Amino acid sequence: MPNFQPVQTVRAYQRIVEQIEDALADGSLVPGQRLPSERELVSQFAVSRSTVREALRVLESNGVVRSRPGDPNGPEILPFSQAPLRKQMTRLARVDELTLSELIAFRMIMDGAAIQLASRLRTDEQLVEVEQTLVAMRAAIDVDFAAFSEADVAFHEAVARVSRNSLLQTCNEVVRGVVLSLISDKIAHATNSRALMLESLRHHTEVVEAIRAGNGHAAARLTRQNLYDYYATYVPAPERDPLRALIDD
Amino acid sequence: MPNFQPVQTVRAYQRIVEQIEDALADGSLVPGQRLPSERELVSQFAVSRSTVREALRVLESNGVVRSRPGDPNGPEILPFSQAPLRKQMTRLARVDELTLSELIAFRMIMDGAAIQLASRLRTDEQLVEVEQTLVAMRAAIDVDFAAFSEADVAFHEAVARVSRNSLLQTCNEVVRGVVLSLISDKIAHATNSRALMLESLRHHTEVVEAIRAGNGHAAARLTRQNLYDYYATYVPAPERDPLRALIDD
DNA sequence: GACCCGTAACTGGTCAGACCAGTGGACTAG
DNA sequence: CTAGTCCACTGGTCTGACCAGTTACGGGTC
């Protein structure tokens, strides 16, 4: 008896999307390359132009290609971007499918791991790079909070690079962006921000010390603690349990 | 001097997408509701049907709506789902030239964190649930490796559920799927798989012990160690450093 | 009255052909 | 060799049509 599979109607534009995504996955299509023009695709896929266009719209909304009117080279294959990933995550966060607590827990995990890896894998030059972002943070305190925030991001990005794990790096970046967009308005109203910045700088300095010492576990623990201290006030009290579970070992 | 903004052409179908997404964000459109039929939308938005359809294709590919031919109620607003997030993440994992080592490191981080959270947050009923998946694993050993593998997945999914962090859960699931797809062929050829399964079962049992004891740190460490033991042979030796950095504290 | 079934009015999926406002390369005049 | 014009071609949008499938309705049967 043959093992029949449930059939599902696959629409024409979907098969076009699949073909293009497959070509991208197996490397026969690489970012920077151009797709043939819509009218050319019409004859290659043997479908109407509406169908081709629906496929292109889907690819475009997924950040795979970009069409520009009048461009004689045709639609462009874009390099991978985390923008669509962030869009989806933001969407989920907006509808409470993801709570702030979940996002922050995730940040604590990601950032902690990145720093743990960094403290083991860093070269001396990379340590210097990280220390320089600390210097930039200190300088930014005297400018304004936005500058400090930017320098803070630079610190975390430098550490993430050192961790040599691009997946970790991307996830980190995305979730950091989402968290910031969720609470940026609240942070802007924070009083006594200078004290906050000094405190944050002190925390970061401790982390760098642990990185220098190669003490990955301590560095990770400090990082998670810092994130908790920094964000806990924005999280409803009953949702703080999971966050604490990540810091007390 | 007015602060001019760069203008960017907003295409008609994009404004339709925006309007529908906004309606969804502010609650005037909720999952389960139906959109008017395409021809009805044509007159409401005062555009052609192609334009409406391109907007619907975009929304559909983002998991916002679903169209079914012949449905007199029109396109359905879907409940929010993490499926599109997973799709984007899988794309990231496929495209972003991720090495097996990076993926496994990521799994070690994710799974470790999930188990750490689970051991602190679990209820007694949930502990029983997890223990039952262990029983299933033991039983599956006598069937075949595929059954064992399935039971193993069930174990990790149960733990991820207990961690009460759906983002962690999704990432976990995605990266597990990607890793498995990369090495499934090699595993299938593994000799003496019964011994492997018994070893794996012993490891899982230790983890459950740590969960029962509420020792999150130990549980996480065990988990990472187990994953390392299980996967290290598939990772080229020079790439194992980052993995080891995650286990020896 | 309850039930079954065919029909007709829809639905979405696809197609063909058309127009428009742009782009960019080729071609020409200086 | 340069500056300017022109035109072929691009994507964005529209119109109108056909098809296959779904569903609700109404008429017929029991």
CB contact under 8 A, B113 and A116: no
Report, as an integer, the average pLDDT of B76-102.
Answer: 83
Of residues B3 and B49, which shows the higher confidence score?
Answer: B49
Q: Cβ separation of A216 and B249 shorter than 8 Å?
A: yes
Residue A66 bridge partners (DSSP): A76
Stretch 130-189 of chain B: residues touching chain A, C-beta under 8 Å: 163-168, 171, 175
End-to-end CA distance of chain A: 56
CA triplet A96, A99, A102: central angle to 5 degrees?
150
Model confidence at B129, pLDDT cuts 50, 70, 90, reads very high
B62 touches chain A (CB under 8 A): yes
Scanning chain A, the segments in alpha helix (DSSP H) are 12-25, 38-45, 49-61, 83-94, 100-121, 124-141, 145-162, 166-188, 193-212, 216-231, 241-245
Residues B93, B174: contact at Cβ < 8 Å? yes
Q: Is A57 within 8 Å of B166 when comparing Cβ atoms?
A: no
pLDDT of residue A7: 63
Which amino acid belongs to residue B124?
D
**A 55-114, residues with C-beta < 7 Å of strand D:** 56, 67-72, 74-75
Q: How far apart are CA B171 and CA A240, in angstroms?
A: 21
Give per-residue burial for B63-95: e unless 16+ CB within 10 Å, then b.
Answer: bbbebeeeeeebbbbbebebebbbbbbebbbbb
CA separation, residue A184 to residues A53, A179, A194 (Å): 38, 8, 16
* Candidates B17, B91, B165; nearest CB to A242: B165
Inter-residue contact B207 to B222 (CB < 8 Å): yes
Distance A9 CA to D22 C1' (A): 14
Q: Which residues pair with B34 in a beta bridge?
A: B76
Instruction: Name the band, by pLDDT with cuts 50, 70 and 90, for residue B191.
Output: low
Of A130-139, A182-191, B57-66, B213-222, least confident by mean pLDDT is A182-191
A83-245 domain in CATH 1.20.58.2240? Answer: no
Q: How far does the CA of A70 sit from the C1' of C30, in Å? A: 29
Non-local CB neighbours of A30 within 8 Å, separated by 6+ positions: A24, A77
Nearest to B58 among A61, A110, A246 (CB): A61
What percent of chain A lies above the pLDDT cut of 90? 64
Nearest CA-CA partner of B227 in B110, B98, B56: B110
When pLDDT is cut at 50, 70 and 90, the band that residue A102 belongs to is: very high
Instruction: Give strand pairing partners of A65.
Output: A77
Closest CA in chain A for residue B219: A249
- Checking each nucleotide's C1' against the CA of B48, the nearest proves to be D14
pLDDT for A132-175, tens place per residue? 999 999 999 988 888 998 999 999 999 999 999 988 988 898 89
Ramachandran sector of residue A74 (left: φ over 0; alpha: ψ -120 to 50; beta: rest): left
Q: Does A228 lie at the interface with B, CB-CB under 8 angstroms? A: no
CATH classification of A12-77 is 2.60.40.10, yes or no?
no
Q: In the predicted model, what is the mean pLDDT of residues B190-219?
A: 88
CB-based contacts of B122: which residues, under 8 Å, 6+ apart? B130, B162, B211
Alpha carbon distance B219, B242 (integer Å): 20
* Nearest nt (C1') from B73 Cα: C11
Identity of the amino acid at B99: T
Is A241 in Cβ contact with B102 (below 8 Å)?
no
> What is the pLDDT, as a whole number, of residue B188?
65
Mean of pLDDT values over B87-106? 82
Q: Which helix (H) or strand (E) holds B149?
A: helix B145-162
pTM listed for this prediction: 0.84
What pLDDT was estimated at residue B52? 97
Q: What is the pLDDT of residue B92?
A: 78
Say if the Cβ atoms of A109 and B109 lie within 8 Å.
Answer: yes
User: Taking a C-beta distance cutoff of 8 angstroms, is the pair A174, A87 a contact?
Assistant: no
The per-residue b/e assignment along B216-237, b for 16 or more CB within 10 angstroms, e otherwise, is: bbbbbbbbbbbbbebbeeebee
Q: Tell me if chain A has a CB within 8 Å of the CB of B247.
A: no
Indicate yes or no: strand C within 7 A of the C-beta of A225: no
B85 and A95 within 8 Å at the Cβ level: the answer is: no
Interface of B with A in 72-111 (CB under 8 A): 80, 82, 84-85, 88-89, 91-98, 102-103, 105-106, 109-110
What is the predicted pLDDT for the residue at A3?
63
Q: Residue A223 has what pLDDT?
A: 94
Least confident stretch, A117-131, A197-211, B168-182: B168-182
Q: In terms of Cα–Cα distance, which of A62, A80, A73 is closest to A38? A: A73
- So where are chain A's domains? 12-77, 83-245
Largest CA distance in chain A: 77
Arithmetic mean of pLDDT, A179-201: 80
Interchain proximity B120–A241, CB inside 8 Å: yes
Same fold, B12-77 and B83-245: no
Q: Is B27 exposed, middle or buried (0-12, 13-18, 19+ CB in 10 A)?
A: exposed
Q: Is the pLDDT of residue A59 over 60?
A: yes
Residue A51, CB, less than 7 Å from strand C?
A: yes
pLDDT for B157: 93
Give the number of other Cβ atoms within 10 Å of residue B106's Cβ. 27
What confidence category does residue A45 fall into, taking pLDDT thresholds of 50, 70 and 90?
Answer: very high
For B135-186, what is each residue's pLDDT tens digit? 999 999 998 888 998 999 999 999 999 999 999 998 888 888 888 887 877 7
What's the pLDDT at B6?
A: 61
